[in-house]
Amino acid sequence: MTTIGFIYPDHAAEDDYPLAEQLLGSDASDFRLPVEHIYGTDLHAVPELLDLGSPARLADGAALLAKHEPDAVVWACTSGSFVYGWDGAREQADRLAAVAGVPASSTSFGFVHAARALGVRRVAVAASYPGDVAQLFVDFLAAGGIEVVSMSAEDIETAAAVGELTPEAVVELAAGHDHPEAEALLIPDTAMRTLSEINAIETRIGKPALTANQVTVWEGLRLAGQTPPLVRTLGALFRTRSA
């Protein structure tokens, strides 16, 4: 049994994780994906995001996950990791690994690693965040060798509001901000329910879509040394054996 633990901020779209466990299903019957929560303000603003991803809060999350005996731990928050910049996010993940006693990463690194696995270098970003926060994600991707050819920012102030988006609104937010020069579309924010909508988004845009909760699960599998199983319902990332 391989157990991947996720530290999730507050409450919004955490039901994507039991859904992922279900969708991995018969191809991954030996995987468990427990989620534990830490709490802070859910405002999409730099000071609040720095606090949300602080060492003390993540150490609390690691302590909550300890009872699950995880083989790897992922900080399931994009903005609460990229807001630290590339080096700061690396230090954040290293500190989390030290307190958890297992390999650790974050959603932000999951995006970079997933894009590389698909051979993607030029992307469009459809962000739910305000513009200044979304730009920090663009900067993070650039530090990871990913060129952003187009970025949109929906200026949604809180994670709770993002979690209230309907499936139709999620598809429209994503597909409406693709760019013809992009090799893939990235949709950050683990507060957005996307696992059920990835295939619909990819059908609309005709290229891979990488979403926050999708790449977080994939990154956890990678960290645990597991080859992500081939799953038809989780987008191109899970349909590509090279991933």
Encoded tokens for 213: 């909760």
Helix orientation angle between 107-117 and 212-223, rounded to the nearest 10 degrees: 80
Q: Which domains does the chain have, with CATH numbers?
A: 2-238 (3.40.50.12500)
Backbone angles phi, psi at 237, to 5 degrees: -60, -40
Report pTM. 0.95
One pLDDT digit (tens) per residue for the chain, 243 residues = 889 999 999 999 999 999 999 888 744 457 899 999 999 888 899 999 999 999 999 999 999 999 999 999 999 999 999 999 999 999 999 999 999 999 999 999 999 999 999 999 999 999 999 999 999 999 999 999 999 999 999 989 898 899 999 999 999 999 999 999 999 999 999 999 999 999 999 999 999 999 999 999 999 999 999 887 788 889 999 998 654
Q: How far apart are the C-alpha atoms of 219 and 100, rounded to whole Å?
A: 16
